[in-house]
Amino acid sequence: MAAATATATLSWSSSSFLNNRTLTTSNNHPITISNKPSSPFLVLAQKKAKKLRKIILIEDVTDVGKKGQLLDVKAGFYRNFLHPSGKARIVTTDLIKEMKVEEERIEAEKKRVKEEALQLARIFETVGAFKVKRKGGKGKLIFGSVTAQDLVDIIKAQLQRDIDKRIVSLPEIRETGEYIAELKLHPDVTAQVRLTVFAN
């Protein structure tokens, strides 16, 4: 074989892997790689840091929080569940401003609806009594009874106001006389309406 293709073999001058290492060529000329003893390996275990994201919930999420709540959640939980399902967004200054504007709009709408209910309650109180005619029976008795739908129809005819019969609460009416019905116009507003029942 040509001398140009000389092969090299590795021989150790010590039995220790980390001590001196010598390389010898095929013509037995030693080459020292390192006479300096190697330092032992140092392995450090580093605890993985938990990454959190500051988010705001766009809707109620069971076992997490309510709509509009600011929370710190794990990055993976946000990335894999909250974000794809559209239930939360990362908190930014622009988002906080946007949420504040929306909150003010909702509050203004609630105030407007309550004010309308108060105005309607005042109208009912100034009307006086609504009159209901029924076919008379024996004594003060009337045929049939007066229902919530009857009152809704009378209000529609006299005041041109549409009222949901589900908000009407009235006692059982089976005879002539005066009665008080209650209309739950708003969670904070209840109007009392007088009802006069008489026989034809």
114-199: CATH architecture: Roll (3.10)
Domain ranges of the chain: 3-34, 52-91, 114-199
Classify each residue of 69-100 as buried b or exposed e, where b means 16 or more C-beta atoms within 10 Å of its C-beta. eebebeeeebeeebeeeebbbebeeeeeeebe
The band of 197, judged by pLDDT with boundaries at 50, 70 and 90, is very high
Task: Please tell us whether the domain made up of 52-91 is placed in CATH 3.40.190.10.
Answer: no
Q: What would the pLDDT profile of 19-44 be if each residue is shown by its tens digit?
A: 445 555 555 555 555 555 555 556 55
% of the chain at pLDDT higher than 70: 75
pLDDT attached to residue 45: 56
Residue of 102, 179, 112 lying closest to 148 (CA atoms)? 179
DSSP secondary structure string for all residues of the chain: --GGG--EEEEESSS-TTS-EEEEETT--EEEEE-SPPPPP-----PPPPPEEEEEESS-BTTTB-TT-EEEEEHHHIIIIITTTTSEEE--HHHHHHHHHHHHHHHHHHHHHHHHHHHHHHHHHHH-EEEEEE-B-STTEEEEEE-HHHHHHHHHHHH-----GGGEE---EEESEEEEEEEEEETTEEEEEEEEEEE-
Total-model pTM = 0.56
The band of 18, judged by pLDDT with boundaries at 50, 70 and 90, is very low
The residue among 141 and 42 whose pLDDT is bigger is 141
The band of 47, judged by pLDDT with boundaries at 50, 70 and 90, is low
Q: What would the pLDDT profile of 176-188 be if each residue is shown by its tens digit?
A: 999 999 999 999 9
pLDDT attached to residue 183: 93
